Amino acid sequence: MTNLDHLTTLKRHGAQLRNPDDGTLIPLTEDFYHRAVEACRTGGYNAATYELVLPDVDSELWLAIWKDGHIDSGDPQSICACLDR
């Protein structure tokens, strides 16, 4: 599965991101993905994390987009474990 396949699968399941400033939902788009990768590269950090929202899922989920374009999604503990490696 490619990174964009992962993104497409999340979108197909209705996934969106929660804006930390006002709680509104932001659609997952390929443009957003590319901007996140570029922000990691220009900002000098390895990955950016976002709160992921899936319909009918009450547990907390995160999305991590890495500067190399890799995407991880899951519970915060799993994402933090990935970030620690």
The pLDDT value recorded for residue 84 is 84
Residue by residue, pLDDT tens for the chain (85 residues) are 688 899 999 999 999 999 989 999 999 999 999 999 999 999 999 999 999 999 999 999 999 999 999 999 999 999 999 888 7
User: Tell me, what's the pLDDT at 82?
Assistant: 85
Helix (H) or strand (E) holding 66: strand 61-66
The total number of structural domains that make up the chain:
1
pLDDT of the residue at 85: 77
The string of DSSP codes covering 37-57 is: HHHHHHHT-SEEEEEEE-TT-
* Domain residue limits at 75: 3-84
d(CA 43, CA 84): 19
Single-letter residue type at 71: I
pLDDT the model gives residue 2: 86
* 60 touches 75 (CB < 8 A): yes
Return the structure tokens found at 6. Answer: 């992962």
pTM for this one?
0.89
Give the sign of the dihedral formed by CA 19, CA 59, CA 9, CA 64.
positive
Alpha-carbon torsion (79, 33, 23, 21), positive or negative = positive
